[in-house]
Amino acid sequence: MLIQRLAEYAAQSGTLPPYYRNRAVRWCIQLSSAGQALTAELADLADADNKAGPQIATPFTVRSGTRPPPMLLCDSLLYVLGLAREDTGQAGADAARRHGDYVALLRSWRASAPDDTAAAAVCAFFDSGDHQRLAIPPDAKPNRLWQTSKLC
């Protein structure tokens, strides 16, 4: 919902909020308002006109260094689900650390906005461990973006 509201703001004002950029978002986890996954796998947002997914206003920061930060709600599968880039112990440990940083950011958001139903739903989803049971389509790559703003 937060990303949708910011996108609506951008459409009305003609500019994106600070630290946001339009980017192609390929995958989405659809959640109920209680934080339960509505499907057993990632939803593919790509279509014939947008093979990499639709352009959506998303948080953006330049990443570099040994501990690049996660981005709220819309990030790569490396951060969101801990999907490693390759099948090595080092890559797996790196993906787990980045995923932990991502979940910590979500919890920080929930703590700063205790009445935000989207924050509560997203955190409930990750706190339950349901994200670990999602089927990942074979063409899902660790560097592709996903979002969780589609709350039903």
> Torsions phi, psi of 24, nearest 5?
-70, 130
Give the whole-angstrom CA distance, residue 28 versus residue 126: 14
Q: What is the mean pLDDT of the chain?
A: 87
Q: What are phi and psi of 16, to 5 degrees?
A: -85, 150
- The model's pTM is 0.84
- pLDDT of 152 reads 44
pLDDT digits (tens, 9 = 90+) for 94-145: 999 999 999 999 999 999 999 999 999 999 999 999 999 999 988 888 887 6
Mean pLDDT of 8-36: 84
- From 36-45, 58-67, 74-83, the region with the lowest mean pLDDT: 58-67
Predicted confidence (pLDDT) at residue 22 exceeds the cutoff of 80? yes
For residue 6, the model assigns a pLDDT of: 56
**DSSP string computed for the chain:** -HHHHHHHHHHHHSSPPTTEEEEE--EE--B-TTS-BSSSBPEE---SS-TT--EEEEE-----SSSPPP-SSEEEHHHHT---SSSSHHHHHHHHHHHHHHHHHHHHHHHH-TT-HHHHHHHHHHHHTGGGG-B--TT--TTSEEE---B-
